[in-house]
Structure 1
Amino acid sequence: MLYWTGKDDVFLLIWLPRLIQAVFSSIADIKLYSLVKRMENSNVAKWVYFSQLCSWFTWYCSSRTLTNTMEAVLGTLALYYYPLEGSRTKSSTKYLFFVALAFLVRPTAPILWVPLLLYHFSKEQKKLDLILLHCLPVGLLALGGSVIIDWMYFGEWTVVQWNFLKFNVLQNIGSFYGSHPWHWYMTQGFPVIMGTHLPFFIHGCIVAPRRYRVLLVAIVWTVLIYSTLSHKEFRFIYPVLPLCMIFCEKSENCGNYTNDSVSRLFFNEH
């Protein structure tokens, strides 16, 4: 785009992609706030938003042009439309569309969504309609569009998602860039990206309502599956962070009096 407009100078090449990514990340943060507001109330949503904004790893990644950052953005948008119990923004087609886009951006993205998809399928009364009218059309459209775009770019039929999985998972060539013990995400990776939020997250998991358990299962599942891969990085589990903020809020919002006072302090409520 910059080439076509004659504006492909170094400054714009460096900063424009970061700015665009920051805008996408901001939209995802707003969607997370809106989701919780519709499920709970504005005070609860503000604490989730506050937790998200206080996350050092969110600030570190949100403007970086990493596939994991866009994966986290698309995952949050998908969560906004996911049929969580009590959600008033549910839409099977829309959330599946964002999951499919996340898969195209990074083929390991569906790992997070396996428990959520299975949970949705188990709760859905019209299972055949879900598959035929939502899953198949969205999946075929997304994958077909990706294959056509790659064919136009490479000049031959290529499924880049398969190449990604073959390179990083089946052939395990990613270990060339470093390998870690199986417990690394549990003992170092996850605690580091959570930072000072970790105690609140642990407590929030204990006190959170039952309807949020599926999100906790998705978080644990994702960390465990990524633990089976030899090459590990902090950014790989970044997409679980927005889900973790929901549990952090459950801990922070336990004391009504204290949190009402702090809420007035930070959010200017009088």
Structure 2
Amino acid sequence: MRFNVPLFPLLFQYRLQIALSTKTYFQPDEFWQALEPAHRLVYGYGYLTWEWKEGLRSIAHPMVFSAVYWVSELLGLGNAGVLYGPKVLQALFAAIADYSVYKFAAKYYGDEVARLTLMCSVTSAFNYFVSIRTFSNSLEMTLLICALNYWPLEKTAGQVSILNYSIALVLGAVACVLRPTNALIWSYLGAGLVLRLRSFNIVAIAGAVGTIILSLNALLDMWYYQQLTFPLYNFLKFNIVESLSSFYGVNRQLYYIVEALPQLLTVYLPFFFHGIYLSRCSTLAQASIFVVFVYSLISHKEVRFIFPLLPIFHVFAALSLYRLRILGRPHLKWTFLTLLLLVNLPLALYASTTHQRGVVDVTSYIRTTPSIESVGFLMPCHSTPWMSHMRRPDIIAWFLTCEPPRGLPRSELATYRDEADQFYDDPELFLRMHFPPLRGNETEATMFRYNWPSHLIVFGALEEFLVSYTGDKYAECQRFFNSHFHEDRRRRGDVVVFCKQSN
């Protein structure tokens, strides 16, 4: 591969440095659907969201991090192992993805395109920010690009290695277990392969591998839930039959084209479009278009849903850079590299070290402050990591919930307001209804949903109201910078900790 130094160790060192220096928050699933259930499984405490109570999630992905926690306990690493172990493992997965996309591009497009693909991968701001986070989408990305190295695409379709094909199927099936929607790309690739080869063996092997992987996963989930549970069925029922995924947001039809792709690719965006046009007759390009098209039909959209396709997008961008000879022309080369330096580097560093860091810093404060007896988060639900970072089984902790409207008639879905919504609709009314009077008889607390904790945590946007409402009963005792701006007005400002004052 014409590298004078071992490539993979360098990539791992690079991703590990990013993982260990990342101090910010992106989306709840990184913690609440991966680390939190893993932590609860190993240590016996933590919070399980409604998806786990309803059996919508497979334990397969959290089990990866449970293994890290078990090893941490075996080695006696304590909090350091719990906090940094998952980061090390996810950095390993990210480095494997970098190395695999390099190998894939070299196999199908040659060494020069492979080097350009690797450049795209390691300088991608979004990759920098997300690949080292413990999302199932991040591991899904790694599994997808690893599998494609073994999958028989056009150039090798006439000489299918059963071993390589089987390896690709295993990796693809595991990816589908992690995220059922990964089946979109594999169904397209599989259908294309069957049409080209018209081989019964291809279908039979796929059926056998799929049955084995799904059966093993069913046994794993049955062990975890202590009953026969099919998260895939529950997932499809919730998202398609009940259409409740829209409760978490509805996006415009062209979201992935006009918002998600620019976020994923930044300065590589025009080269991606040119590259996918050049490759428009290839199965991989058509599969990518198919997946984005199908995702666009779903009401609830998120950029990380198509994040697993990013290595493929980088291949197309690299192909364009190669054809246009961008780095072979001195004037274009330095213009491009300057643009890359001025756009991607600041974005990557700011998102990883500054934007939304207060919600992570406050969990460290809780973990290291013994005087905290109880803590309440008057924030939108899942605004911070939980016990996988706080590590405080000795305290009472609560937050405002946001469970979806399961079981309601369709006529009531549009007006449904979860607990966090109710609070922000009228904070004063909510506190009067669900908390005992601050200046009343404390014995009345049992009548209310919540008790006043020793520490209250809010965003700066709510600070003025809380000071007015609590008067001299609470006073600010700590503050953490969180963000300079935020699209959600409820999350604007610093993270402010208020301490209950003794009488």
TM range (shorter): 0.7 to 0.9
Report the CA distance between 1:218 and its aligned residue.
1.3
| Greater strand share, structure number | 2
Tell me what 1:115 maps to: 188
Tell me what 2:152 maps to: 83
Matched, 1:97 2:166: no
Report the CA distance between 1:41 and its aligned residue.
2.4
For 2:160 and 2:109, the matched residues in 1 are separated by 13
Instruction: Read off the aligned partner of 1:103 and give its amino acid letter.
Output: C
Report the CA distance between 1:92 and its aligned residue.
1.5
Tell me what 1:243 maps to: 312
Matched, 1:226 2:295: yes
For 2:250 and 2:178, the matched residues in 1 are separated by 24
Matched, 1:129 2:198: no
Matched, 1:143 2:214: yes
Matched, 1:182 2:253: yes
Q: Secondary structure at the match of 2:174?
A: helix
**Which has the larger displacement, 12-21 or 194-203?**
12-21
> Highest relative contact order (Cα 8 Å, sep 6+), 1 or 2?
1
Preserved contact between residue 31 and residue 76 of structure 1 (Cα < 8 Å): yes
Tell me what 1:191 maps to: 262
Matched, 1:165 2:236: yes
Instruction: Read off the aligned partner of 1:143 and give its amino acid letter.
Output: L
Instruction: Read off the aligned partner of 1:117 and give its amino acid letter.
Output: G
Preserved contact between residue 151 and residue 168 of structure 2 (Cα < 8 Å): yes
Stretches of structure 2 that go unaligned for 5 or more consecutive residues are: 1-66, 338-503
For 2:238 and 2:76, the matched residues in 1 are separated by 36
Instruction: Read off the aligned partner of 1:226 and give its amino acid letter.
Output: Y
For 2:321 and 2:128, the matched residues in 1 are separated by 20
Deviation string 1:122-150 (CA, Å, 9 cap, x unpaired) is 1124x211112x11210111000001111
Preserved contact between residue 279 and residue 285 of structure 2 (Cα < 8 Å): no
Preserved contact between residue 115 and residue 218 of structure 1 (Cα < 8 Å): yes
For 2:94 and 2:174, the matched residues in 1 are separated by 15
Report the CA distance between 1:206 and its aligned residue.
2.9
Tell me what 2:428 maps to: none
Tell me what 1:50 maps to: 119
Q: Give the 4+ runs in structure 1 shifted more than 4 A.
A: 87-90, 255-258
Tell me what 2:352 maps to: none
Instruction: Read off the aligned partner of 2:203 and give its amino acid letter.
Output: I
**Which has the larger displacement, 190-199 or 100-109?**
190-199
Inter-CA distance 8–233: structure 2 relative to 1 (3 Å threshold): farther
Report the CA distance between 1:258 and its aligned residue.
4.5
Inter-CA distance 28–89: structure 2 relative to 1 (3 Å threshold): farther
Report the CA distance between 1:6 and its aligned residue.
6.4
Preserved contact between residue 150 and residue 158 of structure 1 (Cα < 8 Å): yes
Q: Secondary structure at the match of 1:81?
A: coil
**Which has the larger displacement, 26-35 or 170-179?**
170-179
For 1:50 and 1:82, the matched residues in 2 are separated by 23
For 2:255 and 2:326, the matched residues in 1 are separated by 39
Tell me what 2:97 maps to: 28
Matched, 1:204 2:310: no
Aligned positions, number: 259
Preserved contact between residue 80 and residue 89 of structure 1 (Cα < 8 Å): no
Please point out which of 36, 47, 70 is paired with 2:139. 70
For 2:149 and 2:294, the matched residues in 1 are separated by 24
Preserved contact between residue 144 and residue 172 of structure 2 (Cα < 8 Å): yes
Scaled by the length of structure 2, what TM-score is found? 0.49
**Which has the larger displacement, 82-91 or 102-111?**
82-91
**Which has the larger displacement, 110-119 or 2-11?**
2-11
For 1:84 and 1:227, the matched residues in 2 are separated by 26
Inter-CA distance 259–162: structure 2 relative to 1 (3 Å threshold): farther
Preserved contact between residue 252 and residue 259 of structure 1 (Cα < 8 Å): no
For 1:168 and 1:209, the matched residues in 2 are separated by 31
Inter-CA distance 55–137: structure 2 relative to 1 (3 Å threshold): same
Q: Secondary structure at the match of 2:228?
A: coil
- Aligned pairs for 1:246-261 within 5 A: 246-256=315-325, 258-259=327-328
For 2:289 and 2:278, the matched residues in 1 are separated by 17
Q: Secondary structure at the match of 2:132?
A: coil
Deviation string 1:150-190 (CA, Å, 9 cap, x unpaired) is 11111101111211222223222222221112221122112
Inter-CA distance 38–184: structure 2 relative to 1 (3 Å threshold): closer
Q: Secondary structure at the match of 2:227?
A: coil
Instruction: Read off the aligned partner of 2:196 and give its amino acid letter.
Output: K
